[in-house]
Amino acid sequence: MAISYMTKDGYNKLLEEVNQLESEQRPAITKQIAEARDKGDLSENAEYDAAKEAQGMLEAKIAQLKGMIANARLIDESQINTDSVQILNKVTIRNTKNNQQLVYMLVSENETDLKAGKIAVSTPIGKGLLGKKVGDFAEIQVPSGVLSFEIMNISI
Cβ contact 16:8 at 8 Å? no
Considering the domain architecture, whether residues 103 and 119 belong to the same structural domain is answered as yes
Of 24, 45, 74, which residue constitutes the final position of a domain? 74
Considering the domain architecture, whether residues 123 and 56 belong to the same structural domain is answered as no
Residue 36: give the domain boundaries. 4-74
What integer is the mean pLDDT of 16-45?
88
* The pLDDT value given to residue 109: 81
Query: pLDDT tens, 83-141?
Result: 899 888 999 999 999 999 999 999 888 788 889 999 998 899 999 999 999 999 999 99
| pTM score | 0.64
